Amino acid sequence: MAKNLLDFTGQVVLITGGRSGIGQATAVAFAEQGAKVVIAGRSHATETLAKIKEVGGEGIFIKTDVSVSSDVQNLINEIVEKYGRLDAAFNNSGLFPVMNDLINQTEEDFQTIIDVDLKGVFLCMKYQIPVMLKQKTGGAIINCGSVVSVAADPGMAPYVAAKHGVAGLTKAAGIEYIKDNVRINMLAPGFTATEMTAGWLADPVFCEMVKGFNFAHRWAEPKEISGLVLFLASPMASFIAGSVFVVDAGQTAH
Active site residues: 159
Q: How far is CA 232 from CA 82, 139, 225, in A?
A: 25, 10, 12
DSSP string, 76-118: HHHHHHHHS---EEEE----PPP-S-GGGS-HHHHHHHIIIII
Classified as helix, coil or strand, 213 is coil
Element (H, E) at 38: strand 36-41
Provide the edge-to-edge strand list for the sheet that holds 244-247: 58-63, 36-41, 12-16, 88-91, 139-144, 182-189, 244-247
CA distance linking residue 232 with residue 240, whole number of Å: 8
Q: How many CB atoms lie within 10 A of CB 121?
A: 28
Q: How far is CA 146 from CA 51, 174, 192, 203, in A?
A: 26, 18, 10, 22
**Contact of 23 with 30, CB cutoff 8 Å:** no
**Contact of 93 with 71, CB cutoff 8 Å:** no
